[in-house]
Structure 1
């Protein structure tokens, strides 16, 4: 077997096509858009290259057939933030059911990271924002993945754990129909907030979308970025995020909570566009765009998913979380709402407060991803992601 660094168009093609061959008989796998995967490794499109570097490889057998792939990353903004040691990452791992092949890929990533001073590696993760390509699917193989979320074979878990990776944290996905009641506790909390005229909640109309990047950045950094290793979101990153989302955004899925007209909470969702992209076979070319427009016009997608949810610290524990969800629920139950199913993505098990909130909307866990960590010094005690809040 031979490890080959991806340096040519031919290598890039093999990197993209390997999962197409591996998952051809998997009914729930949805092929990611080629352009989304390639954007991660494009210095012009991925701003993380401003403070980091990445590399990717394919693995070929003696016959020249590609049987595995992997990428490794160093993001200087997160190398030491919240960590006891410099920590890099790996991602985009795919492999045939061969432990020796998997370990060759892990070894390549480990050596590259060690050469750059790393003492641990997390995986599978993204070279960039946590909202995509993050975590190994370990439960929920009978459900289709949401947009830019990982779907993988169950045997990958065995590879990671046999190599010495340990679970750093779990990411939970909760799901439920749009219709149906919420927990009584949530109604009670929401009613307390609703009685205070200083609080208000509403979706962001399209006419105000120019304010969306600043609103996201302000709430995100106050609610999340001061916790552990989560990096702050810059204005440029927020603008880039909104630019990426804009073609599919629905104003009725972009909710904010305000205190005296200042944004203090967000509940941001998107149409689950994998329900449309599964028809384009990874290619958003002219035909793919035509299919996308057709399905969008016909409103064939009945599923929405949660992107970001947070309340700034000084307003936590006051029922704001329940109030913003209840405001959304009232609107969603009105006639003409386009969606029937809802999933809340990426809720870490290190955030019990958020888990309790989601449990109050009567949504069970439908998928579980694991973010693993491998300490290169195995004598060093392993620590899981600290609990927040």
Structure 2
């Protein structure tokens, strides 16, 4: 039967686009269903401020009237101008190379029409969107902020003559019951010598005042990392609204200097993976019950972001952050941890984690690239 590629043009069609993986991964214990409303907010031009400097197209492939694949193609003006690259993301497909090649060729054709000379992905509009195809760790449950995909995806990317452009690793393991003595010594010295401290907040509202500083550190710390494009103030405001209204303050560590400027932070959450699986894409009418339960009664934490301002990175600020999290996790009954993606060549961070009883590298994901 002939495949049909169809561009997504309406909100109803966009919901179908978003929900296709729900069926593709039905019954898979490792796939974590995203919230439809969050996905709509990211993909709709009128919702996402990234579209101030970006364009995107979405397509699905149908076979016998049934959706069997989807893809998004994204142009970031800065990336196109500086690197002649476009992006693809939100890519899912059945194990049929004709389907995957149709999707990728469609994205390529549109990217070429915009002046791109290459395309890479899976990536989103920003580093805070889903990125990196899973290449190992297929028997591990995803976090609510990472992609899960079947192992055959990699064969399909390679069949389209794509190469790996960057690889990230993730950690999984037990939350430490105590810190290594090396970190304890560092904490005592750092606070005195460099006049920094972990900020103590009375409530979430007070913490939000430091949110812009958090994202400014993110922009500075990630500026040289693969695929990162600095967030604008409108995007920062968007993410503050999206994330800081959805946190437990004790799971967030913000380090400030003597001028009350943010110099480092850790944004972590109680794991919502299983709650999202039960919610099946929606908080209503009953999904919010699973999320609330996981939010306040959980033995696993997801480490979403850990960043330190570049000029402070060699001063041991990570030790302050790890010390804080270890104490909070122990107090809150957190027994297990899962990190977000970290570039495999980020030796400073990975060397710090190696001091703990943590499995690093069992889960890997890569960004693939094709020049044309």
Is the TM value for this pair above 0.5?
yes
Q: CA separation in 2, counterparts of 1:108 and 1:345?
A: 30
State the match for 1:218 in structure 2. Answer: 216
Report 1:248-263 matches (<5 A). Answer: 248-260=246-258, 261-263=260-262
- Give the CA deviation at 1:339: 2.5
Query: Which ranges in structure 2 are unaligned for 5 or more consecutive residues?
Result: none
State the match for 1:355 in structure 2. Answer: 350
State the match for 1:7 in structure 2. Answer: 9
Q: Which moved more, 1:352-361 or 1:52-61?
A: 352-361
- Give the CA deviation at 1:226: 5.5
- Give the CA deviation at 1:199: 2.1
- Tell me: CA distance 1:236–1:17, structure 2 relative to 1, closer, same or farther (3 Å): closer
Q: CA separation in 2, counterparts of 1:292 and 1:228?
A: 32
Does 2:337 align with 1:342? yes
State the match for 2:40 in structure 1. Answer: 38
Cα offsets for 1:34-71 (capped at 9, x unmatched): 1222222211211111111101111112x222111111
Cα offsets for 1:89-141 (capped at 9, x unmatched): 00111111111111111100000000000011111111x22123111011121
Contact 1:131 1:307 in 2 (8 A): no
State the match for 1:170 in structure 2. Answer: 167
Report 1:44-63 matches (<5 A). Answer: 44-61=46-63, 63=64
Q: CA separation in 1, counterparts of 2:252 and 2:126?
A: 19
State the match for 1:386 in structure 2. Answer: none
Does 2:101 align with 1:100? no
Q: CA separation in 2, counterparts of 1:228 and 1:91?
A: 16
State the match for 1:381 in structure 2. Answer: none
State the match for 1:21 in structure 2. Answer: 23
- Tell me: CA distance 1:326–1:341, structure 2 relative to 1, closer, same or farther (3 Å): same
Does 2:320 align with 1:323? yes
Does 2:241 align with 1:243? yes
**Aligned pairs, number:** 367
- Tell me: CA distance 1:343–1:321, structure 2 relative to 1, closer, same or farther (3 Å): same
Does 2:196 align with 1:199? yes
SS at structure 2 position matched to 1:77: helix
Q: What RMSD, in angstroms, separates the aligned Cα atoms of the two structures?
A: 2.2
Report 1:91-240 matches (<5 A). Answer: 91-126=89-124, 128-196=125-193, 198-206=195-203, 207-225=205-223, 230-240=228-238
Q: Give the TM-score, by structure 1 length.
A: 0.87
Contact 1:213 1:235 in 2 (8 A): no
SS at structure 2 position matched to 1:364: strand
Query: Which ranges in structure 1 are unaligned for 5 or more consecutive residues?
Result: 377-389
SS at structure 1 position matched to 2:78: coil
- Give the CA deviation at 1:294: 4.8
Cα offsets for 1:189-245 (capped at 9, x unmatched): 334314426121245442412313222133223322255752223333222212111
Q: CA separation in 2, counterparts of 1:343 and 1:203?
A: 24
